[in-house]
Structure 1
């Protein structure tokens, strides 16, 4: 079984890299001008739609809310697996910016794309966190959605338990711009690609729930703790119920 698992992971890694390299020239061109960047984002989504069928990974998503493709939201999901970022491009149709670790920029080609298209943050440096928060707010003000993992990374030792405390940034920006927070629960990614050494990908089904939005109209920063708690409660209930109805 270990040999089969290794062979499957190598097969998936081959297609992961090959499809990315085949599409990267088009991505590179579209990253050269700001008005072209939505096309680069679309190519990233196309990458996921090509890769996952080749990997034998299916999707089973419950949309309790269908985000408007041109709407602006703060998407907030739990984060237990390195698979989470890739699956978002299949789950969501929106043009959004990820808020992710600055270390990604060291990955050849992918790091270039991420730095040009998304928002980087060094969570060890307060100045970097402030910069990323301000850039995220500017992104929302330009009617582009933001996708963020409020746990701040893959930190939980006991998935599907959330890592606490929840980081505030996503909810600060949502209130500041009066933008709805859309909770997303990723139910099975940590089973398909556990955060373990060595990394091994397993075939199966990505199961997720896109929840009803939490509206922030009229909220102030005094409402921040209640907003965070509401998001946590929605996601935790789904995780504890193992996605009943999915």
Structure 2
């Protein structure tokens, strides 16, 4: 049976989606000229990053979306991490921007740069990859390592995008890139579980409903002393850390 368009099945969701979309675009247009100024020089990019964080805070505030972030330990804003999370919804990206105090770059798909204005901002602040191009994947890994060397954290969704067809189960095995760069640079991986973003945002229609965004931030997993031979074990450890709280939240078991 064909899925009903949420705007038609529930007009309130449609109205709310238009409301949040207005503020998402509106605040972006207000802040973009200032972001553009700061993007012109590498020494001022941090200020553009801060404006993106302000944009995220304004969007969630005007959208009446609340957060419950439970952390196993406080995130050190001066520490360089490789952040890894499940990716079930486009809402994950602004949520990440809001909750993290660190200076970071996303590793995201290259097609985003085609979006007017936003694509330019995203491509200047983040690292883009064409996952179907081996050369692009290799270049992305090299750029990510340079970012880590310059004391900038990396956010990566190691499933390789919104790829799961069976929420709340993540796609597996996870891609190796996040773990390879963390081991090479000997920086900790910090797993994050977004428990319910996919229930609040319908990515098929970009429909959003109000609610409580629930996030679990786990303790960092150290990579000091690990080699690339340890990658499979590290990858599985991170997968379990992210996946289990999501399954617990939804009351389902890990598949055998």
The answer for the alignment partner of 2:55 in structure 1 is 47
The answer to whether structure 1 residue 26 and structure 2 residue 34 are counterparts is yes
Separation in structure 2 between the aligned mates of residue 80 and residue 145 of structure 1, nearest angstrom: 22
Deviation by residue 1:151-182 (Cα, 9 ceiling, x = unmatched): 00001112111012211100000000000000
1:243 deviates by 8.4
Separation in structure 2 between the aligned mates of residue 238 and residue 158 of structure 1, nearest angstrom: 16
The answer to whether structure 1 residue 191 and structure 2 residue 213 are counterparts is no
The answer for the alignment partner of 1:230 in structure 2 is 237
The one of 150, 170, 177 equivalent to 2:178 is: 170
1:32 deviates by 0.7
CA RMSD of aligned residues (A): 1.2
User: Is contact 2:84–2:158 with CA below 8 Å preserved after alignment?
Assistant: yes
Separation in structure 2 between the aligned mates of residue 116 and residue 82 of structure 1, nearest angstrom: 19
The answer for the alignment partner of 1:217 in structure 2 is 224
User: Is contact 1:208–1:243 with CA below 8 Å preserved after alignment?
Assistant: no
User: Is contact 2:65–2:212 with CA below 8 Å preserved after alignment?
Assistant: yes
Unaligned runs of 5+ in 1: none
The answer for the alignment partner of 1:92 in structure 2 is 100
The one of 13, 28, 34 equivalent to 1:5 is: 13
The one of 228, 239, 242 equivalent to 2:246 is: 239
The one of 134, 137, 146 equivalent to 1:126 is: 134
TM-score of the superposition, structure 2-length normalised? 0.93
The answer to whether structure 1 residue 78 and structure 2 residue 83 are counterparts is no
Q: How many residues align?
A: 243
- Matched residue SS, 1:150: coil
The one of 202, 207, 211 equivalent to 1:204 is: 211
TM-score of the superposition, structure 1-length normalised? 0.96
Unaligned runs of 5+ in 2: 1-8, 252-256
User: Is contact 1:59–1:207 with CA below 8 Å preserved after alignment?
Assistant: yes
> Would you identify which runs of 4 or more consecutive aligned residues in structure 1 move more than 2 Å?
none
Separation in structure 2 between the aligned mates of residue 199 and residue 32 of structure 1, nearest angstrom: 32
1:68 deviates by 1.1
Deviation by residue 1:62-97 (Cα, 9 ceiling, x = unmatched): 011222111100000100001010111111010000
1:109 deviates by 0.7
Separation in structure 1 between the aligned mates of residue 45 and residue 164 of structure 2, nearest angstrom: 33
User: Is contact 1:97–1:117 with CA below 8 Å preserved after alignment?
Assistant: yes
Separation in structure 1 between the aligned mates of residue 93 and residue 135 of structure 2, nearest angstrom: 25
